[in-house]
Amino acid sequence: MNRKKLQKLAESLCKTAKHFNRFEVECLIKLFNSLGVEPSDRHVAVGLDRNSFRNILHVTFGMTDDMIMDRVFRAFDKDNDSCISVTEWVEGLSIFLRGSLEEKMKYCFEVYDLNSDGYISREEMFHMLKNSLLKQPSEEDPDEGIKDLVEITLKKMDYDHDGKLSYADFEKAVKDENLLLEAFGPCLPDMNCRMSFEADVFQDTRDL
């Protein structure tokens, strides 16, 4: 990608990825270009496929849960073509790294709504909590404990008592108690990962 093309792309992405300045957007595009496959065929979707994206989530952001990593991929892949384009990459990272509470709530809800039907159901909660709790020493019947946890969570978050979490329920609960943002498993980078990623990627190399 030549300088002019890079600048033009950065300029347009600055407008939608609003938490980054132009220099930062350029750095993210450069990183994207170094990670992705070169477009050898114009008809092939250009960008990061599921595996290379998951690899970044794992290596750079310390994520380990396969189900959550798949959902994060889906949340970034807005047009659902199984490939993260440069636009999806920069706009997704804007929320992932620096999103407002509002943006992060929408993102987390999208991740946790495993079948994308607009609700986090009992079954979905059970799946996710089981996944994140299984790493701990198991009790006699771990499923029972997780079922209890699902009921406790519903009691706390299901304001309209329909047995599932709508976005409105989720939003209200998280605004009340910010820790509930990642109630069903880590899907945002922790402070250390975020700082070291930003320090690596946004090094000012303009004077070199």
The residues binding Ca ion (CB under 5 A) are: 77, 79, 81, 83, 85, 113, 115, 117, 119
Question: Distances in Å between the alpha carbon of 172 and those of 32, 165, 204, 206?
Answer: 36, 11, 40, 44
C-beta of 85 vs 132, nearer to Ca ion:
85
C-beta of 14 vs 48, nearer to Ca ion:
48
> d(Cα 96, Cα 146) in Å, to the nearest integer?
28
Q: How far is CA 34 from the centre of its chain?
A: 21
C-beta of 119 vs 170, nearer to Ca ion:
119
C-beta of 24 vs 113, nearer to Ca ion:
113
Considering the complex, what minimum distance in angstroms separates the CB of residue 87 from Ca ion? 8
Those residues with Cβ within 8 angstroms of residue 143's Cβ, 6 or more apart along the chain or in another chain: 130
Considering the complex, what minimum distance in angstroms separates the CB of residue 130 from Ca ion? 16
Considering the complex, what minimum distance in angstroms separates the CB of residue 31 from Ca ion? 17
Considering the complex, what minimum distance in angstroms separates the CB of residue 117 from Ca ion? 4
In one-letter notation, the amino acid at residue 201 is V
Considering the complex, what minimum distance in angstroms separates the CB of residue 165 from Ca ion? 9
C-beta of 115 vs 138, nearer to Ca ion:
115
Kindly state the tokens that stand for 117.
């039907």
Those residues with Cβ within 8 angstroms of residue 124's Cβ, 6 or more apart along the chain or in another chain: 112, 113, 114, 115, 184
Considering the complex, what minimum distance in angstroms separates the CB of residue 56 from Ca ion? 15
Q: Between the CA atoms of 170, 171, 173 and 174, what dihedral angle is there, to the nearest 10 degrees?
A: 110
> d(Cα 43, Cα 152) in Å, to the nearest integer?
50
> d(Cα 193, Cα 5) in Å, to the nearest integer?
30
C-beta of 63 vs 86, nearer to Ca ion:
86
Q: Both ends of the chain: CA-CA distance in Å?
A: 19
